[in-house]
Chains A and B, each alone.
Chain A
């Protein structure tokens, strides 16, 4: 699968804020955590990488077939979880009369793999945020995107679902996908391969230990933290 390569990419909103230029290569299989205060531009950067927003400057040399996933609770659908998962095959079936039994089998397999196979026939809207997020990640497996851009994939989730979603994210990466996930859950960032910090002083890519050091966190968020600001868990 292809990786993600950026040259002088400037993400931002037309007429609004601009992030500094970003040169970055993310290898297949790598998990990149995206941290920074609210409003720093994490979502804008993710959507730019996904091709949903135009770059203000620079180029995305390679982003394979990117898939963007909004935060938990942002997708709403009245049909079944199985159908929503099978819709991941849309790219293959763009001009076909319909989805095929193969697509449904693939969807069922992905749901089973994330241990949510029993939710297949339930309406997606009736599931909990955690269950919905697992279904949407199952769809990423079905979709076979080479670059997965996840916006706060752990937000709103209880510890069990957060663990399951993190395991699923690792499984996505283990198959050779690029994973970029924004998060305020700093222990997740600590377990990532690299951390991209978006803050008032610019954009910075570093190893987790370096990026999450107390002085860096203080500069980024403007608060003193011994551990994770949201759960107190140690960061290293």
Chain B
């Protein structure tokens, strides 16, 4: 019975994402019939359809990948820390990635190098947080991790502030600011495809961890008492979530709220078990990112940065979700 319900739910989510993707690809200034798009995918489409696919395809892929990555990482952190406020930037990963990208932009690097620097910066901040937490002898390892994440994020933010002050206000600052606000526009096909690999790897690890994440959520003592190597598994989960976050931020800049909102929405539908919550969160995160990115271009030629839209829509949506769940409980 549960299995049938899960299969049904999974197909509904996949169909929703496919429908949204078709909608995004086919509408806009260049209207293309969905059937023409499908023909273009198989390589026998009209020039318009191929143009729409080439223009919108990478961006679509980037939005899907980043949305899924942020939501999956957010769900992982929320389970691991038993904290509904845990978000993908918990270990300071987003700030670290922002610092990396801003430094690269300051030095006049090209797009690929900026992405690489953001990725490295995010992982460095996450590693710093993990290393600091390993030095503590606190009874509650999770508290140490949260505090060290705050420290790593604060250091990266300070560095970012410095870069912003140093940056040339005419030539460099706008690009840094724009990068930080988040956008899927700049994604090229190689970049979007390049993010798929680390995101897929991180997601595979989190999904494999599955019931082991549920046990880690009970705390170290319970995990060790149940015969699991708690520290090693938690490190693996944190590394996977940090990898996913860094990849997403490197492609899209800092896009908040998806990683917080999608797991909460998913929890309402599939419950708390990690094995179901993580895939469901990723699907909803992908959908949410897609919808937000479509809205970003819906109000005229000047795009609204998706980071702003995600917060503007995500924050009230989060509040509504919270009120709904608290009333149901």
On A, residues with C-beta under 8 Å from B are 47, 50-52, 65-70, 75-80, 83, 86-88, 90-91, 93-94, 97-99, 123, 143
Contact = CB atoms under 8 A, between A and B. Distances in A.
A83 B210 CA distance: 12
A87 B226 contact: yes
B215 A90 contact: yes
26 contacts: A50-B225, A51-B224, A52-B224, A66-B225, A68-B221, A75-B218, A76-B82, A76-B218, A77-B217, A77-B218, A78-B272, A79-B271, A83-B214, A86-B211, A87-B211, A87-B218, A90-B226, A90-B228, A91-B226, A94-B228, A97-B208, A98-B210, A98-B211, A99-B211, A123-B271, A123-B272
A91 B225 CA distance: 9
Nearest to A104: B2
Interface of B: 82, 208, 210-212, 214-215, 217-218, 221-222, 224-228, 271-273, 275
A75 B273 CA distance: 16
Chain B contact surface mostly: helix
A70 B222 CA distance: 9
Given A78-B271, A98-B211, A65 B217 contact: no
A65 B217 CA distance: 21
A69 B226 CA distance: 10
Candidate in A52, A69, A77, A123 with the most chain B CB atoms within 10 angstroms: A77
B214 A52 contact: no
Given A75-B222, A76-B82, A79-B272, A94 B208 contact: no
Contact of A70 (B215, B217, B221, B226): B221
B214 A79 contact: yes
A232 to B, nearest CB: 34
B227 A65 contact: yes
B211 to A, nearest CB: 5
Contacts of B218: 75-77, 87
A111 B224 CA distance: 23
B214 A77 contact: yes
A90 B227 contact: yes
Nearest to A139: B226
Contacts of A65: 227
Nearest to B267: A78
Contacts of B226: 67, 87-88, 90-91, 143
B272 to A, nearest CB: 4
Contacts of A78: 271-272
Nearest to A103: B211
Contacts of A80: 271, 273
